[in-house]
A and B are shown apart, each in its own frame.
Chain A
Amino acid sequence: AQKVTQAQTEISVVEKEDVTLDCVYETRDTTYYLFWYKQPPSGELVFLIRRNSFDEQNEISGRYSWNFQKSTSSFNFTITASQVVDSAVYFCALSLGIGTASKLTFGTGTRLQVTL
């Protein structure tokens, strides 16, 4: 069975600091997707990024960057120059197979608090 571990329960940083959220996954399947979602205090779940198991290229989108390493089964998420609006719970998730949506297995989430 697949599993996603987010060891960091809560992180507090001061605005403009960089912060990395860790995600480690377990699966015996060779084809899968990895996701990051953001859940702000309002409660909705916002999709941030998807990577498939064949694509280990790191990705940067504005202040966000993602580091996918199959060798360590990790898919870490870095926010550069954090802002108060980044305060939220961030979930890493895994789904099996390629080309179709399937059950998402979520980690327990990391609560990020950014203060002034």
Chain B
Amino acid sequence: SAVISQKPSRDICQRGTSLTIQCQVDSQVTMMFWYRQQPGQSLTLIATANQGSEATYESGFVIDKFPISRPNLTFSTLTVSNMSPEDSSIYLCSVAWGRETQYFGPGTRLLVL
């Protein structure tokens, strides 16, 4: 499987600010995904980010709030904009390795005050 890293690993932010999370993979992958895990909850897909096309957002998530970039086959960013305490979550990126299985990065723990 691929080695996936995320930056930052954790952050504490003030409401109204924005944070950009980076996801780096050591191999080229076509499909990358961004998930959110709210405290004590399960994971929910935010969007699918394929290189060379616009990200596809799930119901309840919009580009203005969660803009995503996918400049190449090894890197993606997710920005959490105009944050509120409700955005406090773990944000995880995943990549599809071998086409069918998603492997996850270590996650970014975000606390919004």
Contacts and interface: CB of A to CB of B under 8 A. Distances in A.
B100 A43 contact: no
Interface residues of B, number: 25
Interface in A70-116: 91, 95, 98-101, 103-104, 106-109
A-side interface mostly:
loop
Interface in B83-98: 90, 92, 94, 96
A16 interface: no
Interface residues of A, number: 23
B111 interface: no
B106 A101 contact: no
Contacts of B33: 101, 103-104
Most chain-B CB neighbours within 10 Å: which of A35, A47, A50?
A: A47
B101 interface: yes
Interface of B: 1, 31, 33, 35, 41-45, 48, 58, 90, 92, 94, 96, 99-107, 109
Interface of A: 33, 35, 37, 42-47, 50, 52, 91, 95, 98-101, 103-104, 106-109
